[in-house]
Amino acid sequence: MRLANPMRRRGLAIGIDIGGTKVAAGLIDASGRVLAEARRSTPGHDPREVEAVIVELVRELSAEHHVWSVGIGAAGWMDLAGSTVLFSPHLAWRNEPLRENLERLLRRRVFLVNDADGAAWAEWRYGAGAGESRMVCITLGTGIGGAMVMDGRLERGRFGVAGEFGHQVIMPGGQRCECGNRGCWEQYASGNALGREARELAAANSPVAQELLRAVGGRIGDVTGAVVTRLALEGDPASVELLEEAGEWLGLGLANLAAALDPGMFVIGGGLGAAGDLLLEPARRSFARNLTGRGFRPAASIRPAALGPAAGMIGAADLSRIAARR
């Protein structure tokens, strides 16, 4: 038996995850393993600068490997063909043929992926959702990202913008959302929502908020969802309560999604997912209490994501590999 030369291993792809502050890239093999990583700060909004950073990262990671394709993941909406950015909060591209530009620069097949779609696909292929025929993946970060894998397909909708679960209106007339509406789910169950509630609690100067205030040296503006999550994991009762509230809203929204989509599993990832059962246990209770038809139907499980922050780049790489085979 002759071992394949790893330098020429088939099926290597690069996944790139463009975030608000950094661009992370990974060399991913066909079983979803991250073989190498590289990262840069996200340059300003100039499309040419972002393209230059992508080219640099791909050159670095492909110097010693044959790479078949590159998947680019970012927040925002990509067209169904994976060619054009319709809208992205962190990218200045608007209806630009990003894929075409990058394929010319990289001389490789390129595929554009919504970041939540990439993470969901990775969790279904290699992570918590493996083997589940109907999986909904929720990424709790500053907002709520969502995506679904139905019967082995990433279900992206008619125009490629499905999965915006965070913008189901769950409280008409409620908190204002960046999307322009009021009462969106992500205003109640995201990391940003957690931070906002904690800042309100701190600003009320409640005795229960003393730990929160101490943690930020009294600078209320520095209280974020991440701070609350850390304090809750350390046992601060007020922070535990704040996570419980967020978890209850999370469970209510999941019950709405279960009514509509009836998945077998919800996979919960993203930064706020780090809170683990402090968030997920209240979510499970609230889900069980709010699920329509409870008692007469099987119910989805609610599980933490398995792949961590690399999920996005792993999924983007894998989707680019699949698109390149077509």
Contact status: 298 vs its own copies (CB under 8 A) = yes
Contact 16, 9 (CB under 8 A): no
* Binding-site string for its own copies from residue 72 to residue 91, where x marks contact by CB under 8 A and - marks none: -----x--------xx----
Among 104, 176, 219, 294, binds its own copies (CB under 8 A): 294
Tokens of 200: 């309100």
CA distance 79 to 50: 19
Does position 255 bind its own copies by CB under 8 A?
yes
In whole angstroms, give the CA distance from residue 40 to residue 20: 11
Q: Which residues of 252-273 are buried (b: 16+ CB within 10 A; e: fewer)?
A: bbbbbbbeebebebbbbbbbbb
For the bound state, the minimum distance from the C-beta of residue 257 to its own copies, rounded and expressed in Å, comes to: 7
Decide if residue 101 touches its own copies (CB under 8 A). no
Question: Rule CB under 8 A: is residue 259 a binding residue for its own copies?
Answer: yes
In three state form, how does the secondary structure of 84-105 look? CEEECCCCCCCCECHHHHHHHH
Give the nearer residue to its own copies in terms of CB position, either 78 or 314: 78
Q: Which two tokens stand for residue 203?
A: 């600003």
Among 73, 118, 145, 263, binds its own copies (CB under 8 A): 263
Q: Which of 256, 287, 303, 317 binds its own copies (CB under 8 A)?
A: 256
Q: What's the min distance (Å) between Cβ of 77 and its own copies? A: 6
Query: Which residue of 90, 134, 230, 285 would you call a contact of its own copies, by CB under 8 A?
Result: 134
Query: What count of other Cβ atoms lies within 10 Å of the Cβ of residue 31?
Result: 9
Of positions 28, 138, 300, 305, contacts its own copies by CB under 8 A: 300
Could you tell me if 18 and 317 are in contact, meaning their C-beta atoms sit under 8 angstroms apart? no
Instruction: Give CA–CA dist 154/193, Å, rounded.
Output: 28
Question: Does residue 267 touch its own copies according to CB under 8 A?
Answer: no
Count of residues that bind its own copies according to CB under 8 A: 50
- Shortest Å distance, C-beta 270 to its own copies: 18
- Is residue 45 close enough to count as binding its own copies by CB under 8 A? no
* Distance in angstroms (rounded) separating the CA atoms of residues 1 and 303: 41
Question: Which region among 63-71, 102-110, 132-140, 226-234 touches its own copies (by CB under 8 A)?
Answer: 132-140
Q: What is the DSSP string of 186-219?
A: HHHHSHHHHHHHHHHHHHTT-GGGHHHHHHTTT-
DSSP state letter for 123: H
Query: Residue 111: what residue type?
Result: F
Q: Does 284 bind its own copies (CB under 8 A)?
A: no
Q: Of 95 and 206, which CB lies nearer to its own copies in the complex structure? A: 95
Among the listed ranges 17-25, 121-129, 199-207, 285-293, the one in contact with its own copies (CB under 8 A) is: 285-293
Contact (Cβ atoms closer than 8 angstroms) between residue 123 and residue 319: no
Question: Which residue in the set 184, 194, 202, 250 belongs to the binding site for its own copies (CB under 8 A)?
Answer: 184
- The answer for residues whose C-beta is within 8 angstroms of residue 181's C-beta and 6 or more apart is 167, 169
Site for its own copies, rule CB under 8 A:
77, 86-87, 132-134, 146, 150-151, 153, 155-165, 167-172, 177, 179-181, 184, 252, 255-257, 259-264, 290, 292-294, 296-298, 300
